[in-house]
């Protein structure tokens, strides 16, 4: 079999449509080979992750905003933690927020479920590197 | 014969007695009321600091020169006492040779003899005791005055008899006058009901476990004045470690305590305000940052995009961000305005008129949503308030109720006023979607907090309402059930 480059699935959860638009556009421009799912709040994302019909379409990496209506980033993280063990694959979680509140920053840093706390405005290169690091292509080569 | 055989000195013992009289450190005198002659013992001279015969031995000399003029009356009164024996004792001041006036005790015995009428008397120097007594009285007075000024009294409980003794000042604090003896239970019943159990337990623990206590509690005096008092008790133990007495102080600390409490409430207010400002700064910074971040993001994207169609879309987003920034600045202005308007004059505002005003402003929204509104401002018709605030409060609550109407039914809004002893309340009820209080209750009045997936939600209305209400010293409470409705209770004053 030839070495096939596998698509990374990234997921962005944010109530800010402009941010989601920019995020997707940038990944396109940076040539990040990824499928991007987007949800406008934590509840929508949890509903997706729980749905067995999407079990084979789980993301590799999730970027979640902190301040959102309906279900905010903290509550999402909490629910995600409970779901994590039942999910068929390893899914990494990053928090993305423009909050410079030290309480938010420390809370994210202390939470082992959150890989990193990324402050907005984001560095597109950093995000691209994160997504690329989940590129399993090389390891998958037979 | 021995002294113990008889109390009367007779026969030969008289000579013996005379020697005794002349040698003891006591002045003995005798006065013959018929011949008007006096006899003084050696001791008489000695206690005044003289040698026998150094001064004239006469009643006149004694009365005019030695006896302090102010003590003449008590001396005469005791000397001429005619009632049943024993004759009273007078305390008098006599002039000594070298030590000025000193205190003496004078006892007198009248004796009607065959030779005429004799008066006998004995003088003893009691200066030391008298001075001590005066000092003690002074100390006592000072102590009493200190207690009176400090509003502080002492008390004790004798454990064996379980009796309570209280000082004068404690009675004064109780506002109990006259001779009233209180039992422990009666004394405890003066404390306000909320503190009665605390004080009873403290006294009990002091008696049973020798545990001291120091409490600041409320107390109702016999004249129904409610005051703050400090009650402190310390157990006194015997050699076996058992409590035999509980001794304590009782102080009226009402003024200090009330000052302290009002200071504390000022501190709490300031603290709340500080927290709100801090929170506000974070929120504003967060909001501005997210717009600024997006702006930078879009500008970068604009530069890196080649496709003309994409550029157009990006530019439309930049326009949106610019509008959001203006809106945020508008919110900031509104919040700053709350603080600057706080100094504005309060006016008598009519609830009904103001509510109709706001309804007219929101007419389009009200009609579009088929809102049914009932009001009842009979209980409180007017209020002294900043008109702009009341208008804003009505407007935010109405808008809020319409925005979060239940999708399955037409909105019903019920608005009315209530009054209790000290406050005026505005109640605002709707039958909208409601909000999960357990989940969002503490964030409801936060800035830019939105909870429903509603595109119109900005998270600013309730934040401003709360700030306006609190700026005028009121508070706002909310009660809500999901799918049933929400009730806001605004305490205006």
Q: Where in chain A are the domains? A: 15-136
User: Nearest Cα to A96, choosing from A15, A10, A14?
Assistant: A14
pLDDT at B453: 61
Long-range Cβ contact pairs of B222-225 (< 8 A, separation 24 or more): B222/B174, B222/B175, B222/B176, B222/B190, B223/B175, B225/B175
Please answer whether residues A61 and A35 qualify as being in contact, where contact means their C-beta atoms are separated by less than 8 angstroms. Answer: no
Cβ-based neighbour number of residue B89 at 10 Å: 15
Give me the residue from B285, B296, B314 closest to A121, CB to CB.
Answer: B296
Give the closest-approach CA distance of B306 to chain A in angstroms.
10
Q: What is the pLDDT of residues B110-134, one digit of tens each?
A: 766 666 688 888 899 999 999 999 9
Interface of A with B in 69-98 (CB under 8 A): 69-70, 98
Note whether A16 contacts B: Cβ–Cβ < 8 A: yes
pLDDT at A84: 86
Note whether A102 contacts B: Cβ–Cβ < 8 A: no
Alpha-carbon gap, residue A13 to A93, rounded angstroms: 11
In a 13 Å sphere around the CA of B282, the CA atoms on its Cβ side amount to 17
Cα B23 to Cα B1, B18, B19, B28, B198: the distances in Å are: 21, 9, 6, 10, 67
Cβ distance of A69 and B453 shorter than 8 Å: yes
> Chain A residue with minimal CA distance to B448?
A67
The CATH-assigned architecture of domain A15-136 is 3-Layer(aba) Sandwich (3.40)
- Higher per-residue pLDDT: B233 or B389: B233
User: Nearest Cα to B370, choosing from B409, B334, B313, B398?
Assistant: B409
Alpha-carbon gap, residue B89 to B236, rounded angstroms: 40
pLDDT at B254: 93
Question: What integer best gives the mean pLDDT of chain B?
Answer: 86
Secondary structure E strands in A1-142: 8-13, 34-39, 61-65, 92-97, 114-119
* C-alpha dihedral (B169, B174, B179, B180), degrees to nearest 10: -140
pLDDT at A138: 45
Pick from B281, B282, B287, B293 the residue to mutate for testing the A interface (most A CBs within 10 Å): B293
Interface pTM (ipTM) of the complex?
Answer: 0.77
Give me the residue from A18, A25, A124 closest to B294, CB to CB.
Answer: A18
> Chain A residue with minimal CA distance to B447?
A67
Judging contacts by C-beta atoms under 8 Å, the chain A residues touching residue B292 are: 121
Q: What is the pLDDT of residues B54-81, one digit of tens each?
A: 999 998 999 999 999 999 998 888 887 7
pLDDT at A2: 42
Judging contacts by C-beta atoms under 8 Å, the chain B residues touching residue A123 are: none
> Chain A residue with minimal CA distance to B450?
A69
Query: Per-residue pLDDT for A142 more than 50?
Result: no
Establish whether the linkage from the previous residue to B339 is cis, with ω within 30° of 0: no
pLDDT band at B286 (very low <50, low <70, confident <90, very high): confident
């Amino acid at each position: 079999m030839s070495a096939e480059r596998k698509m990374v699935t990234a997921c962005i959860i944010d109530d800010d449509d402009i941010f989601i638009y920019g995020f997707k556009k940038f990944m396109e421009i940076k040539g990040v080979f990824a499928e991007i799912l987007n949800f406008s709040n934590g509840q929508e994302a949890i509903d997706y992750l729980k749905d067995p019909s999407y079990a084979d379409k789980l993301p590799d990496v999730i970027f979640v905003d902190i301040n959102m209506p309906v279900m905010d980033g903290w509550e999402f993280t909490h629910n995600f933690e409970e779901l994590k063990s039942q999910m068929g694959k390893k899914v990494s979680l990053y928090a993305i927020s423009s909050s410079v509140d030290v309480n938010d920053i420390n809370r994210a840093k202390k939470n082992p479920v959150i890989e990193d706390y990324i402050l907005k405005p984001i560095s597109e290169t950093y995000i691209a590197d994160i997504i690329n690091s989940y590129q399993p292509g090389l390891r998958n080569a037979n | 014969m021995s002294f113990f055989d008889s109390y009367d000195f007779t026969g030969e013992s008289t000579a013996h007695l005379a020697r005794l009289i002349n040698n003891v450190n006591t002045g003995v005198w005798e006065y013959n009321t018929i011949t008007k002659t006096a006899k003084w013992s050696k001791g008489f001279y000695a206690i005044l600091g003289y040698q026998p015969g150094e001064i004239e031995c006469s009643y006149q000399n004694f009365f005019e020169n030695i006896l302090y003029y102010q003590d003449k009356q008590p001396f005469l009164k005791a000397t001429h006492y005619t009632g049943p024996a024993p004759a009273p004792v007078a305390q008098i001041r006599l002039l000594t040779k070298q030590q000025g006036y000193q205190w003496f005790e004078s006892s007198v015995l009248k004796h009607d003899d065959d030779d005429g009428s004799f008066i006998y008397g004995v003088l003893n120097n009691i200066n030391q005791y008298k001075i001590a007594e005066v000092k003690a009285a002074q100390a006592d007075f000072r102590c009493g005055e200190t207690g009176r000024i400090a509003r502080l009294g002492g008390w004790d409980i004798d454990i064996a008899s379980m009796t309570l003794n209280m000082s004068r000042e404690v009675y004064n604090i109780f506002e109990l006058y006259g001779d009233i003896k209180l039992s422990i239970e009666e004394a405890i019943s003066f404390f306000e009901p909320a503190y009665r159990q605390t004080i009873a337990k403290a006294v009990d623990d002091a008696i049973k476990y020798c545990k001291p206590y120091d409490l600041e509690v409320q107390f109702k005096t016999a004249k129904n004045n409610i005051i703050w008092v400090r009650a402190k008790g310390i157990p006194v133990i015997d050699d076996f470690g058992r409590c035999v007495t509980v001794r304590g102080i009782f102080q009226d600390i009402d003024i200090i305590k009330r000052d302290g409490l009002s200071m504390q409430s000022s501190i709490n207010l300031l603290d709340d305000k500080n927290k709100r400002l801090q929170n506000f700064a974070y929120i504003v910074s967060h909001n501005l940052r997210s717009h600024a971040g997006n702006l930078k993001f879009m500008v970068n994207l604009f530069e890196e995009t080649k496709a003309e169609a994409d550029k157009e879309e990006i530019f439309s987003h930049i326009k949106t961000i610019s509008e959001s920034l203006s809106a945020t600045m508008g919110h900031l202005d509104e919040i700053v305005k709350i603080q600057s308007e706080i100094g504005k004059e309060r006016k008598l505002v009519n609830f009904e008129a103001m509510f109709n005003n706001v309804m007219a402003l929101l007419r389009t929204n009200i009609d579009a949503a088929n809102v049914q509104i009932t009001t009842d401002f009979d209980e409180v018709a007017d209020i002294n308030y900043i008109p702009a605030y009341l208008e804003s409060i009505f407007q935010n609550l109405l808008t809020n109720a319409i925005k979060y109407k239940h999708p399955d039914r037409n909105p019903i809004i019920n608005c009315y006023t209530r009054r209790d002893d000290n406050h005026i309340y505005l109640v605002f009820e709707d039958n909208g979607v409601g909000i999960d209080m357990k989940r969002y209750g503490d964030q409801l009045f936060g800035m830019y907090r939105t909870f429903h997936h509603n595109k119109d939600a900005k998270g600013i209305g309730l934040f401003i309402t709360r700030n306006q209400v609190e700026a005028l010293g009121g508070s706002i409470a909310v009660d809500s059930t999901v799918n049933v409705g929400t009730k806001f209770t605004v305490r205006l004053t």
